[in-house]
């Protein structure tokens, strides 16, 4: 693809971007072709009217690897929990919204190889495209590095979602659970404020606080504003359930 002199600059940029990406995630592919394939959207074949290889097969593989790794973790962590709740918990971990967020956190959207039409229609930001690309990327890591490394990589990627789990319900929706509890007390809504953001553009850390009746009731940090808000809500829930929050707040 880089033979034409007119494409030299673009190819050099693409190679540089892949090098930067691999340095950032802490893994360098032995077969970089696997990474390129994981980033190739099916629209490329439609645009060129040819059998351009795309990431759909890797998506299938990556989905299975993700489910296996997270199922293994949940099975070991919650020995008393039944199949139904384990299945629901896993589904919340690997839904399209979650996987799209994981893709954004590692900057996959910027690297996707899209047709001109898909690019113009916002493919780099589309949640379904990002989620598929994340699964494909995991499939590529699995083929290139094997299961043990891929398991460690996945667990590091999901650390924020897993580290504060005492029960599977902690995975669900702390913001929703907090709102339900507070609205059972009064019609007042909690509100969230971003209190700080630090770090370079590619590795931001957000801090958010949740307030209720003008009182701060929880604070959290995360790699995205959404994650920080979720952690703030989780802290507020913990404080409420332990009785730590001052009763005058309620």
Report the SS3 class of residue 209. strand
> How long, in residues, is the chain?
250
Does the model's pTM come out above 0.85? no
**Residue 63 is a catalytic residue:** yes
Query: Can you give the pLDDT at residue 51?
Result: 60
63, 118, 144, 235: which one is catalytic? 63
- Give the model confidence (pLDDT) of 157-203 as tens digits: 998 888 767 667 655 678 888 888 888 888 888 999 999 999 888 77
Do 219 and 229 touch, CB atoms closer than 8 A?
Answer: no
- The least confident of 26-30, 70-74, 139-143, 203-207 is 203-207
The rounded percent of the chain whose pLDDT value lies above 90 is 43
- Give the model confidence (pLDDT) of 103-158 as tens digits: 999 999 889 988 787 777 777 888 888 999 999 999 999 999 999 999 999 999 99
Residue 10: is its pLDDT beyond 50? no
**Residue 101 is a catalytic residue:** no
Domains observed in the chain: 5-166 (1.10.1520.10), 173-249 (3.30.160.20)
Query: Can you give the pLDDT at residue 237?
Result: 86
- Give the model confidence (pLDDT) of 44-54 as tens digits: 766 555 566 88
Q: How far apart are CA 176 and CA 160, in angstroms?
A: 18
59, 101, 135, 235: which one is catalytic? 135
Do 130 and 137 touch, CB atoms closer than 8 A?
Answer: no
């Amino acid at each position: 693809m880089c033979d034409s002199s007119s494409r030299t600059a673009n190819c050099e940029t693409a190679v540089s971007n892949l090098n930067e990406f691999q340095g950032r995630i802490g893994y360098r592919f032995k077969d970089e072709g696997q990474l390129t394939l994981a980033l190739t959207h099916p629209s490329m074949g439609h645009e060129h009217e040819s059998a351009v290889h795309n990431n759909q097969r890797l998506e299938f593989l990556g989905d299975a690897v993700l489910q296996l790794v997270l199922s293994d973790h949940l099975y070991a962590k919650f020995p008393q929990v039944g199949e139904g709740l384990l299945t629901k918990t896993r589904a919340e971990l690997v839904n399209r919204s979650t996987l799209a967020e994981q893709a954004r956190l590692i900057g996959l959207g910027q690297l996707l190889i899209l047709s001109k039409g898909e690019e113009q229609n916002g493919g780099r930001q589309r949640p379904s495209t990002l989620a598929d690309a994340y699964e494909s990327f995991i499939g590529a890591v699995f083929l290139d590095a094997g299961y043990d490394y891929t398991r460690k990589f996945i667990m590091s990627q999901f650390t924020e979602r897993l580290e504060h789990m005492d029960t599977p319900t902690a995975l669900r929706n702390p913001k929703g659970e907090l709102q339900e509890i507070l609205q059972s007390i009064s019609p007042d809504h909690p509100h969230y404020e971003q209190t700080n953001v630090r770090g370079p553009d590619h590795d931001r850390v957000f801090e958010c606080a949740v307030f209720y009746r003008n009182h701060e009731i929880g604070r959290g940090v995360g790699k995205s504003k959404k994650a920080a808000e979720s952690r703030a809500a989780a802290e507020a829930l913990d404080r409420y359930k332990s009785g730590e929050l001052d009763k005058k707040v309620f």
